[in-house]
Chain A
Amino acid sequence: MRTWDRRRSTLLLLIAAGAALLAVSVAGGLLTEQAMATDFSRRDLAPCWGYPFGTDWMGRDMLARTLAGLSLSIRIGVLTAGISAAVALILGTVCAISGGWADAAVSWVIDLVMGIPHILLIILISIACGRGLWGVTAGVALSHWTSLARVVRGEVLQLHQAPYLRMARKLGVSQGKLLRLHLLPHLLPQLLAGLILQFPHAILHEASVTFLGFGLSPEQPAIGIVLEESMGYLALGRWWLALFPGLSLVLVVALFALLGERARLLLSPASAQG
């Protein structure tokens, strides 16, 4: 009797990682106020019990700042994943089903967007959207759909030629029913895994854009801003300002990557029962 198979351990890992990320996101959201609070009486504290991540020169709690920053990143990641999945699904299916000029047009748009250096595209969109939180969110969320759209399109094209689908068409099954009953269930694993794997990209792009100083202003807690600020104090030996936020960022990104990978294993028929 194998009670502890891989499927189960994968599921458990998935739940644990998801819970950890959710916890960071919620905690950070609640701590935003605290992350901006300055208190000069507790400035430059090295990590201690009261402030596990230390404080900076304005006495801001780095744990609160890190969590709030990561929470912002994760929320932007959710939005990005949602928008990307929706756009990818619509465009991918449209071009695969309609074929012909629609396919050519959509493929051309995908190539066009992918042709622009990604970080530049994000900066352009965020400036066009009036910068600030809204600009960064729009910039990151609206620029990640291309790769997923391409994957979905390829998948649909391939499924389209599958014998059971050709048979269904010959039997006169309607386009809508075809999509709902036969295409979507097959697309779902790819889409879900791709969706989760959007997070690391979105988070790191958000971090780099704020690191470069586009978008959010320096009092706001974003992980890029936290890292950018910390650099000025490395020469002074304030290592905790960079180390903990940096590690946390890596950890969150790694967790999402793991989550995506496991979800794919679990959902894909070839590996799900392994």
Chain B
Amino acid sequence: MKRSVLLLPVLVVSLLAGCQRGPVGSFSPEPGHSRPLTVVLPVSAEPAAGFDPAFGWGAGEHVHEPLIQSTLTVTNPDLTIGYDLATGMEVGEDGLTWTVTMRDDARFTDGEALTAGDVAFTYNTVKNTSSVNDLTMLDRAEAVGDTTVVFHMARPFSIWPYTMAAVGILPEHAYDPATYGTAPIGSGRYMLKQWDRGQQIILEYNPDYYGPQPRMEQVTILFMEEDAAFLAVQAGQADLAYTSAPYAGQDVEGYSLLSVRTVDDQGINLPVRNNPLTADPLVRQAINMGIDRQQMIDHVLSGYGTPAYSVCDGLPWYSPVNEVEHDPEGAKALLDERDWLPGADGVRTKGGVRAALTIHYAAGDPVRQGIAAELANQLRELGIETDVKGVGWDTAYEDALSNPLVWGWGAHTPMELYNIYHTAPGSDSALYSPYANKKADELMDAALACTDLEESYSLWQAAQEEIAGDVPWVWLVNVDHLYWVRDGLHVAEQKIHPHGHGWSVVNNIDRWSWE
């Protein structure tokens, strides 16, 4: 035991560096689009259940385009809705039917045509099997002819087009849930050629793809830990590799740093019950305005981030009402006003109760730890005695009911607002942190029931305006996603990345190019 403890760091590092570098050969840069591309993603990006949309591929918290499969809709760079297989969509007056027409020239890579039957089969299958992709709002999907699908909804769901962007279409004739994840057949831009579990996948372009031919013909995606990814870049073995702020200051010859804007949104909940300090809305407002977000970005993220004021900054349903000026004096004045007065040691008290908070964060995530530490430093200056505490996810949800917890959110759908702020069914409070606002609930319900997507955006905004004064959550920073990019590789324009540093960057890998 003695020896193993001392050797462990060395061993682990050499394992990471040694093993995972193996399969990639280095190659001399040749111009031309046929040069194979090597991309390094985090180990956590490798889908445990394989590339099966019925088991969450492409969907869920870290939503991205499934690449191997087609979807009906896609999200545009500005997060409005565009079409992939779909050619048009219409929603019934009551919001309970969606009729989607689709193109007739899409084929699966085994040569079979993709029809409305496959689409209906996919949605009905995903609804029944997927725990990742929530389709409870769908009653059933029905094919009408070969190119029209009718979705019968269980309840109106105005943002259905965003859900459709995250459901890859399965082949009804060749779908076996036991094997599909490892040998997927799709109609997307790429085919899965090889998957070495725990190591890499190799994607090859689909020559029969109905859209523009992919410019990258072969893509290898390696799954590596962060330090191994950095070593791979230093050794010149990757064309693009994910990285994070601590590495951003390094200089690597032949590479430059790509910083992508995100809604990878870090924030804390402020329980409006169960906590004597945060139960007061004015105290919550004081905390919200007392935080210097830019300083947090400079300190924790080396400047690679943007201030966050909501869970949907920069998305079409975002309301600027969330923005707040950094005003420490105003924050202190608010605390004074609520009789939280500074004592001899600088800590505020009210009726003998000390103004104390313990910021919880997920142990093992250095960024969240840094955010918690910086937040604690800033709150101490306001006179709030603040500690931090790393916890596991097994207890974190429970802890968050009475303490602030550092969360990461941010997805390409307004449902994120609903999930965080809407009163949970059968309860008198929102799911993750005690909070309830009837008016906001009604506005969000109306947004979902609305039959016009554009109009629903303004209802989502109205809900945010209703919530803004309550400050049940304080949003802090959007963490930029950072990548090392080999000189000469042109990465196509990225849409705002959602929470989760993973597949988003390769959403449009077919349009990348070499100079």
Contacts and interface: CB of A to CB of B under 8 A. Distances in A.
A246 B300 contact: no
Contacts of B228: 235
B6 A250 contact: yes
A236 interface: yes
B350 to A, nearest CB: 25
Contact of B363 (A207, A217, A250): A217
A16 to B, nearest CB: 23
A124 B440 CA distance: 46
Contacts of A40: 298-300, 374, 377
Contact of A253 (B2, B17, B389): B2
B232 to A, nearest CB: 10
Contacts of A213: 363-364
B448 to A, nearest CB: 39
A218 B360 CA distance: 11
A50 to B, nearest CB: 19
B246 to A, nearest CB: 6
A40 B372 CA distance: 13
B370 interface: yes
B370 A58 contact: yes
A207 to B, nearest CB: 6
Secondary structure type dominating chain A contacts: helix
Interface in A222-268: 224, 227, 229-236, 242, 246, 249-250, 253
Interface stretch (B8-16, B215-223, B473-481): B8-16
B364 A218 contact: yes
A136 to B, nearest CB: 14
B4 interface: yes
A65 interface: no
B362 to A, nearest CB: 10
A79 interface: no
Contact of A217 (B4, B17, B390): B390
A118 interface: yes
A170 to B, nearest CB: 47
B9 A242 contact: yes
A135 to B, nearest CB: 12
Contact of B1 (A39, A204, A232, A233): A204
A40 B303 CA distance: 13
B81 interface: no
B342 to A, nearest CB: 21
A246 B6 contact: yes
Given A38-B377, A231-B13, A250-B6, A217 B391 contact: yes
A118 B1 contact: yes
B361 to A, nearest CB: 9
A119 B377 contact: no
A235 B235 CA distance: 12
A118 B1 CA distance: 9
Contact of A205 (B1, B366, B390): B1
A57 interface: yes
A38 B8 CA distance: 27
Contacts of B246: 57, 232-233, 236
B363 A208 contact: no
A82 to B, nearest CB: 21
B135 interface: no
A204 B5 contact: yes
B226 interface: yes
A211 to B, nearest CB: 7
Contacts of B455: none
A76 to B, nearest CB: 15
B153 interface: no
Given A205-B1, A208-B1, A242-B9, A219 B390 contact: yes
A221 interface: no
Contacts of A224: 5
A235 B17 CA distance: 9
A32 to B, nearest CB: 13
B363 A234 contact: no
A249 B9 CA distance: 14
A266 B298 CA distance: 58
Interface in B207-257: 226-228, 230-231, 246-247, 250
B241 to A, nearest CB: 12
Nearest to A237: B250
Contacts of B376: 38
Interface in B15-67: 17
Nearest to B230: A235
A219 B388 contact: yes
A200 interface: yes
B1 A38 contact: no
Interface in A187-223: 200-201, 204-205, 207-208, 211, 213, 217-220
B418 to A, nearest CB: 32
A211 B369 contact: no
Contact of A230 (B9, B369, B370, B374): B9
A164 to B, nearest CB: 39
Contacts of B159: none
Given A38-B374, A40-B299, A217-B389, A234 B9 contact: yes
B482 interface: no
B5 A207 contact: yes
Contacts of B227: 231-232, 234-236
Interface string B164-185: 0000000000000000000000
A57 B370 CA distance: 9
A110 B1 CA distance: 20
A58 B369 CA distance: 9
Given A58-B373, A204-B2, A211-B5, A218 B230 contact: no
Nearest to B365: A218
Contacts of B377: 38-40
Given A218-B363, A231-B13, A232-B246, 10 more contacts: A58-B373, A118-B1, A208-B4, A208-B5, A219-B390, A233-B246, A236-B227, A242-B9, A246-B6, A253-B2
24 contacts: A38-B373, A40-B374, A40-B377, A43-B299, A57-B246, A58-B369, A118-B1, A200-B2, A201-B1, A204-B1, A204-B2, A204-B5, A208-B1, A208-B8, A213-B364, A218-B366, A218-B369, A219-B389, A230-B9, A231-B227, A232-B226, A235-B13, A242-B9, A250-B6
